[in-house]
Amino acid sequence: MHNNEMMEKEEIYSKVLRAGRRTYFFDVRATKAGDYYLTITESKKFTNDDGSFHYKKHKIYLYKEDFNEFNDILKEMTDYVVAEKGDEVISDRHQKDFKKEYDTPVSTDTKAESTDDVSPAESRFTDVDFDDI
């Protein structure tokens, strides 16, 4: 039997998450013994200089004996990110003038408002152009 035909036969349940240039595939598959495991595949689209494109794929195999600990750590890590940075996506790709906090000099212009009235975050504010979103 051809390798691709074997792969199709062992897929039990699948879901797809499209996220910009990335696509995530979640596939339940069967072992030769008939047990189930999960594969998570990230597929990312890249465009060549000539306009053609190709995909790079990365795959994780996750077995049942690791599900509980994997879920616990994934939940802990995602909760941490949301607690620290919130749900809003911050991306220098979408914000052309994005500057990391330590890259942006604080203005010392004496004609500007007193620094007592302006928070450090406000003094580092950068105008954002949303035309590219």
What pLDDT is attached to residue 18?
A: 95
List, edge to edge, every strand of the sheet that includes 11-19.
11-19, 22-30, 36-47, 53-63
Cα(37)–Cα(45) distance, rounded to whole angstroms?
Answer: 26
Element (H, E) at 122: helix 120-123
Select, from the ranges 2-11, 16-25, 122-131, the one with the highest average predicted confidence (pLDDT).
16-25
Confidence at 8, pLDDT banded by 50, 70, 90: very low
Domain boundaries along the sequence of the chain: 3-85, 89-126
CA distances to 21, 50, 52 from 47, rounded to whole Å, are 10, 8, 6
What pLDDT is attached to residue 117?
A: 52
pLDDT tens-digit map of 32-85: 899 999 999 999 988 888 989 888 999 999 999 999 999 999 999 999 999 999
Third-level CATH fold of 3-85: Nuclear Transport Factor 2; Chain: A, (3.10.450)
pLDDT tens-digit map of 75-116: 999 999 999 999 888 775 555 555 666 655 555 554 444 445
